[in-house]
Amino acid sequence: MSEPLDVLEKEFAEYVALRQRLRDDDSRFADVLLAHRRQCMTNLSDSEDMMWADRIRVIDRLAERKGLVLADERPLRYVLDEIAERERKRRGEDMQRRKAEQAVKQETLT
């Protein structure tokens, strides 16, 4: 079985080659990698599916392998922190809702 990093590198290289054959000569490996990374970050933020975090980690490793600097890109940690904060907020709201429901239940029993 191929290493995910090698598979992704091949996918990006094939996509760039396709774009170049279709006369979109501006497509470069780095551009494709960054665009895909940004889309994965959006998908992660929207869906909170950790599969996207795994994909971003592979993309980041590929960028490192290719010598691409991601300093201007949003770090994965920021999105993961945002997701964790939203989860804490949801849990707090659920706890408050359950307390309110129990209080109402207690009042109806008395």
Mean pLDDT split into 10-residue runs, the chain, 110 residues: 86 91 81 96 96 97 95 95 96 93 82
Question: Where do the domains of the chain lie?
Answer: 4-109
Helix axes 50-66, 29-47, angle to 10 degrees: 160
CA 12 – CA 28 distance, rounded (Å): 9
pLDDT at 2: 67
Distance of CA 33 to the CA centre of its chain: 14
> Cα separations (Å) of 101 from 65, 93, 109?
54, 12, 12
CA 1 – CA 38 distance, rounded (Å): 27
pLDDT at 25: 67
